[in-house]
Amino acid sequence: MRERIGYAAWIAGVAQFFVVHGIVESAWTRPAYSWARNNISDLGNVHCGLRTWPESRYICSPGHGLMNGSFIVLGVLLVVGLVLTGGTGRTGGDGGARGGVLWRGGRVAALSRTLLAGGGAGFVLIGLAPTDVHTGLHVVGAALLMGAGNAGLVLAGSGLADRVPRPLRRAAGLLGTAALLAFGLFLSGHYLGLGMGGMERVAAYPLLCWVAALGLWGVALRAGRARAPVAEGRAGGDRVGPGPAGG
């Protein structure tokens, strides 16, 4: 149950973020919010006005309070999921982890979880410190998210137990590497035709998509295991025992 709640926390955190993103984005009217032109955290800016860094754009987000709350909820649920799914166990003879654990034992897995938790803390800090109110703290939060979080994603490819499907483990390393490269391009102002907001999303969203996919896999796996004993019990109840001896 503990592990299942952790998986569900990841799914709920990512889902509510994108739902709230859409709601707050739709309230932005002057001019229309653009995924290419605007940063994600522009939706959380408290004040309306022209911003010139890192690109010139007009910002006015009536739903900034809702968006900042969503950032905080997302970060908290990411960390909660890591804590609840963070158990490790001994490995079997085939090198796979035994039992219901998600991670391998060892330093790589521990460092991966720590860095991913840093990414979650980054979301919380972004929500608590809107960029037009506490710029310095907001930048620290963004660095934790796109720097530490993506580094943790890279290491997750090696830190996850063998019971996790290979595509999910490989995707972690590939997505984390791509996101770190995108973060570097974003910081250097090279957007490759995607725009400032587009490149930022390439740096930030792979972590969310992967966490949601891992959560869906975990929930489906646990649901399958819960049904298996029930099916076995029903099969046993349907068996016909030997009848009484005839006269």
C-alpha span between 116 and 205 (Å, rounded):
13
Q: How many CB atoms lie within 10 A of CB 135?
A: 12
> Using CA atoms, how far apart are residues 119 and 147, in angstroms rounded to an integer?
8
> In the block, which residue shows the tokens 């390439």?
202
Q: Residue 158 burial (CB < 10 Å; 0-12/13-18/19+)?
A: middle
Whats the size of the chain, residue-wise? Answer: 247
SS3 103: strand
pLDDT at 30: 81
Convert the pLDDT of each residue in 99-122 to its tens digit. 457 999 899 999 999 999 999 999
Separation of alpha carbons 69 and 6, rounded Å: 20
Rounded to the nearest 5 percent, the helix, strand and coil shares of the chain are 65, 5, 30
Residue 235 has a pLDDT of 52
Q: Cα separation of 60 and 238, whole Å?
A: 65
Contacts of 102 (CB under 8 A, 6+ apart): 3, 85, 86, 87, 160, 161, 163, 164, 218
Assigned token pair, 179: 């996101």
Segments in the chain below pLDDT 50 = 91-99, 230-231, 240-241, 243-247
125 backbone dihedrals φ, ψ, rounded to 5°: -65, -35
Contact in structure between 218 and 102 (CB atoms under 8 Å): yes
pLDDT at 238: 55
Q: What is the pTM of this model?
A: 0.87
- DSSP classification of residue 43: G
Please say whether the beta carbons of 89 and 76 come within 8 A. Answer: no
